[in-house]
Every structure is written in structure tokens, then in C-alpha cells.
A and B are shown apart, each in its own frame.
Chain A
Amino acid sequence: LKIERCSHCDHEAVIHLHYAGRNLCKDHFTRLFEKRIRTVIREFSMIKKGEKIAVALSGGKDSSALLYCLSRLRKDLPFDLEAISVDEGIGGYRKATLGSAEKECIRAGVEHHIISFQDRIGKTLDDLVLKKRDDNPCSICGIVRRRLLNDYAKEQGIDKLALGHNLDDIVQTLMMNLMRKEPSKLSTLVRQDATPGMVQRIKPLLQSPEREIAIFAHLHVMDIKHPRCPNAHSAFRNQVRKSINETEEKYPGTKFKMLSSFLEIEESLRSQYAGSRSGLCTSCGSPTDSKICRFCQMTIA
């Protein structure tokens, strides 16, 4: 194998950044990766000194890399860090990822909380999917997981929940919401203000491309080789992902430009759709734009 040298030193490169025309070795790539996360945290005022932050930790590459980077950031910015994992009850899948999550928490030296659908709502995701055959399993899982994470974080006095959403997730969701004509959902794509009853969510990986996260996780020996979730088959997201990845390959930097363009119009979207969820669920009292929130629709009866 003939490997080019790092653009900044004499070491072998581990990655070529097509959008920047640079080769980076492990050290320089790690520095870039961590600096990008620190810059996002600072520019978006995501974490303040002394706050209690919990990473929503699935045990996959994104949340594991996020936990690792946040645990290192604590050396410069003192804050409390914990991790919460959700056992949705997906047969043959979740146990392995929970094992990886546990290992990463031990390595980062943080407390690991595990909550389960079964314990909190008396049903597993597999039960809910069987009952709600017309709904997309990822949609059911997302709605229930978000609520359980939020409720548990509130109980634990967590100030902010850190999510492993990466650049690819964000630009895919951006495109999907545009294509579905759901612009109101874009107003909270990147930033979510603290609202009564809701723990603020932060996305420090929003400028981190998914492939770079995979390489970072590989370089820092994270145990993230898991089978794909058996429920993950959203045809629409797959189509959008493929289309964006094809464009990125042909025109490197496209994902960064999409995010950057979105951030320029984000504030006007936020003003336009502020308080659009003005109603409260008649069943649980959570903010919603319909009579009964999606969580209650999914889990009651």
C-alpha cells in the first residue's frame, strides 16, 4: 500500500479530506475532529461551566465518539457528564450495543444509566411495532425514546441532553422536511430552546460528517461494529441519503454548504414558527400541536 504523508507533518495519512484537499495523520485528524466539536459547543453556547450534561448513548459510533470527546473537553471546561442509554426492547440487537455503551462509560469515567421501554411504559418496541403496523418503526421508536429520555433526564436534574446527531443526519432531515413540506419542523433542527417540561437538547456533532465519525471511532478503538437495527428501513431517508452522498462525492463540501445555508435562514424560521406547539396534550399535558400527543397515541391502550 502506498500511503501519502500528512499535509502537516511527516506521518502517514489516515484520511484524505476531499472538501479541503488535505491528507491528515491520526494526530492531526483527531485535533481537527475535536476542535470542530469544541467550536460548535462554543459558538452555539451549548455547554456552560458547572452544568449537568447527559449523553444519549446508544453504543453506536456517533454517541460513543461524542461521549469520548465530551469527557476530554471536561479537562478545560468543568461540567458534570453522565450517559443515559435506552433499551427499547429490540430482539437480537440492543443487548450488544448496550454492552459497548457500558464499556465507553467505564473508559470515560462517567455514570451510566439504562432505562427501558418495558420498565417505563410496560411495552417493548417490538410490542409497539406489532400493534402499530401502519406506523414506521423508526418513528415509533424515536417518539417514545425522546419522551423517555426527556422524562428521565428531568428526574435526574440534567440540564441538557447531548445527542449524537451528525452533519449527515441534519442535512438529510433538512431535505426530508423540505420535500415533505414541513418547514415548521426545521425551526428546531439545530437549536432547541429550553421550554417548560422539556430538557434542552444539544447536538455537538452537527458539523461532523458521519464518515469522519466512523474513522474517529475506528482510530480510538471504539467497539462499534454492530449489526444494523432490524427496524431501520426508512425508504425515504435512504433515498435522500444516497442522493446527498452522490452529490457530496461529485461536489465535495456539499453537506457543509447545505448546513451553512440553513444556518443563514434558521433565525427567520425560528421567529416564524416560535410557539407553534401552543396546545397541551389532554392526556399527559406535554406541548403538542394536536389534542393528544404522539407519545400518548403510541403508548396508551
Chain B
Amino acid sequence: MIIIVDGKEREMDFSGNASELIRELGFLREEVIVTLNKKPVPDNAVIEQKDSKEIEVSRVIFS
């Protein structure tokens, strides 16, 4: 599936919840937010293959 990570497309094989996706991408949960069609999703939301390209993982911008 293709997931947008910090604005860049990334192809990966993934199934699981948002928390697991964050971990698989090598981020800490506190440092990113996950959105589906620009809407934030909770960490326990289960991501499916068909959600590809609509899922975006963005780093919380540290000031």
C-alpha cells in the first residue's frame, strides 16, 4: 500500500492499527499525527489495504 509520510509517497506492506503503523515507520507516537483524507484518526483505528494513498503520517512540527 502507498502511504504519504511527511508529504512523500511511500510504498509498504502494512496491516494493523495507526499506532503500529507509526512504530513501523520508525516514529514515536507523540511525534506524529495520522490522518485519513485530512481528518485525524485515533491511534487505535485499524488501517486496511484499500485506505492506500488516503493515509498520511505527518510529523508534529516542533517549534
Specify which of A4, A164, A218 is in contact with B42 (CB 8 Å cutoff): A4
Q: Which residues of B (22-52) have their CB < 8 Å from a CB of A?
A: 28-31, 33, 35-36, 38-48, 51
A161 CB to closest chain B CB (Å) equals 16
B24 CB to closest chain A CB (Å) equals 14
Are A164's CB and B63's CB within 8 A? yes
- Tell me if B60 is interfacial: C-beta within 8 Å of chain A: yes
How far apart are the CA atoms of A14 and B40 in the complex, in Å?
Answer: 5
Specify which of A2, A18, A228, A246 is in contact with B61 (CB 8 Å cutoff): A228
- Tell me if A301 is interfacial: C-beta within 8 Å of chain B: no
Are B30's CB and A249's CB within 8 A? yes
Specify which of B28, B30, B46 is in contact with A1 (CB 8 Å cutoff): B46
Are B48's CB and A245's CB within 8 A? no
Specify which of A1, A60, A62 is in contact with B36 (CB 8 Å cutoff): A1
Are B45's CB and A18's CB within 8 A? no
Specify which of A15, A164, A226, A245 is in contact with B30 (CB 8 Å cutoff): A245
> In the complex, which of the residues A1, A58, A226 has the most CB atoms of chain B within 10 Å of its own CB atom?
A1
Q: Which residues of B contact A (CB under 8 A)?
A: 28-31, 33, 35-36, 38-48, 51, 55, 58, 60-63
User: What 5 A-B pairs are tightest by C-beta distance, nearest first?
Assistant: A16-B42, A245-B30, A2-B46, A214-B60, A13-B42
